[in-house]
Amino acid sequence: MSKEKSMSKQDREHKPKSEAKSRSEKTEKLQKILANAGLGSRRELEKWIADGRVSVNGSIASLGERASDKDTIRVDGRVIKIKPSDEVYTRIIAYHKPLGEVSTQKDPEGRPTVFESLPRTSFGRWISIGRLDINTTGLLLFTNNGELAHRLMHPSYQVERKYAVRIHGEVTDEMIKNLKDGVLIDGDLCKFNFIQPGGGEGANQWFDVGLSEGKNREVRKLWQSQDVDVSRLIRIEYGPVELPKSLSRGRWMDLTADQINKVAELVKLDVNPRKEQPKPKGSQRKNIWRRH
């Protein structure tokens, strides 16, 4: 069956007589358009296109295809409302993840998820910028801009994450040297950008550590490679955003337009922050931005 015949009658009825784009009409890659619409990260949307879930003007889309806000774009047969780029706004919120929540939209085991505590967004959908495992607490960022989320997570941009770690076991200078020089984990060379003492003594010491990729359970695996265990793990910074001391577990707050622009500049992306952000209670907002 041809691609055209495989489309619904509704798709064919909406297909224009001529698909030629005028020279003045601005087009962008389809995955970027869908990411800006808040449907997901660019990598996720590229998979949707490859799987044949996306159509443009009644024809199944292909990777690399370009479109504009004048085209009729569907995902799984549902028309996606595409706004002009000047009407697209970016929002980022900081969430203080507690223990026991999973970083997925839905959990087959019925455990609570981080998305259940988030506010509604009138534009796009929330996309998690990285994840934290069920036993890790601290800063988790969400945005409605899929391209921004993709860049902030991509290893090529080297966005640093900082964690406070409590270690059960004796930590020697040799261990710290190994963790800074790099150790092989699952075939990859992994290392901390820095390790700083964070207090405590004996077999329960705190350290602040930083890394720039954030592979699955990488912090825990690095310490376990030195035969010590992580008894507590808290993400305290992601890029230039720090976990506000005034933000209680299970609560969220918006970044300001200036803060959003600075986060986007870090990954060389121009964004359009929503001009009027919801106002946080008390003095939470003034504590959210890292000043060093």
Which residue range(s) make up the domain with 214?
92-287
- Answer whether 96's CB lies under 8 Å from 248's CB: yes
pLDDT confidence of residue 286: 41
Residue at a domain's end among 35, 54, 86: 86
Residue at a domain's end among 65, 86, 107: 86
Residue at a domain's end among 52, 69, 86: 86
**Domain identity same for 121 and 82:** no
**Domain identity same for 82 and 116:** no
Residue 133, domain member (yes or no): yes
User: How do residues 134-187 score in pLDDT, each as one tens digit?
Assistant: 999 999 999 998 889 989 999 899 999 999 999 998 999 999 999 999 999 988
**Domain identity same for 71 and 122:** no
Residue 82, domain member (yes or no): yes
**Domain identity same for 67 and 104:** no
**Domain identity same for 268 and 136:** yes
pLDDT confidence of residue 35: 80
pLDDT confidence of residue 201: 72
**Domain identity same for 202 and 237:** yes
Residue 292, domain member (yes or no): no
The pair of structure tokens assigned to 259 is 């803060």
Residue 164, domain member (yes or no): yes
SS (H, E, C) the chain: CCHHHHCCHHHHHCCCCCCCCCCCCCCEEHHHHHHHCCCCCHHHHHHHHHCCCEEECCEECCCCCEECCCCCEEECCEECCCCCHHHCCECEEEEEECCCCECCCCCCCCCCEHHHHCCCCCCCCCEEECCCCCCCEEEEEEECCHHHHHHHHCHHHCCCEEEEEEEECCCCHHHHHHHHHCEEECCEEECCCEEEEEEEECCEEEEEEEECCCCCCHHHHHHHCCCCEEEEEEEEEECCEECCCCCCCCCEEECCHHHHHHHHHHCCCCCCECCCCCCCCCCCHHHCECCC
CA distance 40 to 124: 9
Residue 128, domain member (yes or no): yes
- Tell me if residue 133 is catalytic: yes
Single-letter residue type at 213: E
Measuring CA to CA, which residue among 107, 112, 144, 117 is closest to residue 128?
144
**CATH number for position 254:** 3.30.2350.10
CA distance 96 to 120: 17
Residue 280, domain member (yes or no): yes
**Domain identity same for 192 and 47:** no
Confidence of residue 22 (pLDDT cuts 50, 70, 90): very low
**Domain identity same for 67 and 101:** no
**Domain identity same for 156 and 188:** yes
**Domain identity same for 127 and 160:** yes
**Domain identity same for 194 and 275:** yes
Is the pLDDT reported for residue 47 higher than 60? yes
Marked catalytic residue, from 76, 133, 188, 229: 133
**Domain identity same for 148 and 274:** yes
User: How do residues 197-254 score in pLDDT, each as one tens digit?
Assistant: 988 776 689 999 999 987 889 999 999 999 999 999 999 999 999 998 899 999 999 9
pLDDT confidence of residue 86: 67
Residue 125, domain member (yes or no): yes
Residue 277, domain member (yes or no): yes
Average pLDDT over residues 271-284: 57
pLDDT confidence of residue 21: 52
Per-residue b or e along 158-174, where b marks 16 or more CB atoms closer than 10 Å to that residue's CB:
ebbbbbbbbbebebeee
**CATH number for position 57:** 3.10.290.10
Per-residue b or e along 66-79, where b marks 16 or more CB atoms closer than 10 Å to that residue's CB:
ebbbebbbbbeeee
Q: How many domains does the chain have?
A: 2
Phi/psi region, residue 212 (left: phi>0; alpha: psi -120 to 50; beta: rest), is: alpha
